[in-house]
Chain A
Amino acid sequence: MSVALSAQDISRALTRISHEILEKNHGSSEITVLGIPTRGAHLAARIAAIMSSIEGKEIAHGTLDITLYRDDLRLRAPRAIMPTSIPPIGIQGRDVILIDDVLYSGRTIRAALDALGEVGRPRTVQLAVLVDRGHRQLPIRADYVGKNLPTSEKQSVKVSLTEIDGVDEVVIEGVAN
């Protein structure tokens, strides 16, 4: 087990991502931030808070559960359905920033794109992740990455956040090869 990101690293990464999102979208007026539960939702709330302190106004943010859209539902026990809350302004014609903790196979994001399609038609959908660990199974990439972590498929990446786990940290468990 090794610590890949400390609390300070996470904080810096989220601040940088927030600035990058604002830069790329020329401000925050058209942005809706949606986090994928569980940890993505907390990251989304943090990023929205950082952006609103930079911009000096509220950033529309919410959560998007993708459980019912997964393509691997039949392969495992049914998962608990987590809350979805779309901000009142909606996603129609907006720039939606999807936020998740770890980008791995890309299947969660594919499911998220399907889930978004049921809610409305955003102008753009962009993806921000805290960790990109590689091993994609679908043609999906992130627009904003906190840290690229080269891993082996045998390893697991565990993201802890103070809101749930009491501590901010990313660790890699298991050994490579």
Chain B
Amino acid sequence: MRHLLSINDLTPSDAIGILDTATELARINDGQVKKLPTLRGRTIVNLFAEDSTRTRISFEAAAKRLSADVINFSAKGSSLSKGESLKDTAQTLQAMGADAVVIRHSASGAAQRLADLEWMSGSVINAGDGTHEHPSQALLDAFTIRKHLGKGASGLKGLRIAIVGDILHSRVARSNVLLLSMLGADVVLVAPPTLLPVGVESWPATISYDFDSVIPNVDAIMMLRVQQERMSDLFFPNSREYSRYFGLNSERMSAMAKHAIVMHPGPMNRGLEIAADVADSARSVIVEQVTNGVNVRMAILYVLLAGGPLEVGSN
């Protein structure tokens, strides 16, 4: 495996290999060791043409813990804001000897384009492209679910997971539906019809418009951010009404199964899709998702950059 562009690039054993690697790395990171020499001398470029806090910092921390050299560059303050094309940017990175590029871009398919056109010889890791995919987020979500609720090796068989909110604009939702269903979980999408993408019927998930009927039957609820910056039309009458029907408040949380967890990929709109007291409750694993993100991204970098083709798990 050379690139990570989409969950569709992974086989179930690839995905489980990454999760298992992340599990061992988490144990090492929990101990005294904070730095590993594994990727010494490799250069990883964070190319963020769209805003990000968690993903960028997380990839940076992951690369640094594996001793790689990290070059960050974002659209603001680089020639991207002067209108330089993706191709010219990629060729510049190639000339500087980047072994991997972590790319976030507002255009769906930007990472795929970077990989397909062979503008550069390194690995391409998709850190979110438009409304398409965000594979590393799905892997860290699967890791978090497996850690809390998993049974056995692959661990997601028979679990029911609700993904709630702005599915239409969510790359996190798409990657999660693909990955969680591949690992054996049943996924329920909950959203107003206006916030579901065209063709959602063909996704490996069921669809519900009634949040309250779904809540008692699921093991995890993943709330999605309402992406107002991508909304050029009116998708719901007003935010109070959205919140009343599709927001997770403490009343709804009390209807959840005892063991069920609350997730959110961040950044949150507190008071819109999730109430502040729910986000800060004991059921919420939102902060832990960030910690797990570093371990999962270390595993991704290890698998892509440490050697040749992926054989983790085949032993």
**Interface residue ranges, A against B (CB under 8 Å):** 65, 68-69, 73-84, 86, 114, 118-120
Contact = CB atoms under 8 A, between A and B. Distances in A.
Contacts of A83: 24, 27
Nearest to B312: A80
A80 B20 contact: yes
B191 to A, nearest CB: 38
Interface in B27-70: 27-28, 31-33, 35-38, 66
A86 B31 CA distance: 9
Contact of B33 (A74, A75, A118): A118
A78 B31 contact: no
Contacts of B313: 80
B25 interface: yes
Interface residues of B, number: 27
A80 B21 contact: yes
B37 A77 contact: no
Contacts of B303: 78
Nearest to A38: B315
Contact of B38 (A68, A80, A86, A120): A68
B34 to A, nearest CB: 9
B31 A119 contact: yes
Given A74-B306, A84-B28, A79 B37 contact: no
Report, nearest first, the 4 A-B pairs whose CB atoms are least far apart: A78-B307, A81-B24, A77-B311, A77-B308
B36 A77 contact: no
B24 A65 contact: yes
Contacts of A79: 307, 311-312
A78 B306 contact: yes
Given A77-B307, A77-B308, A120 B302 contact: no
Nearest to B17: A80
Contacts of A80: 17, 20-21, 311-315
A78 B302 CA distance: 8
B2 to A, nearest CB: 12
Given A69-B37, A120-B32, A77 B310 contact: yes
Contacts of A74: 306-307
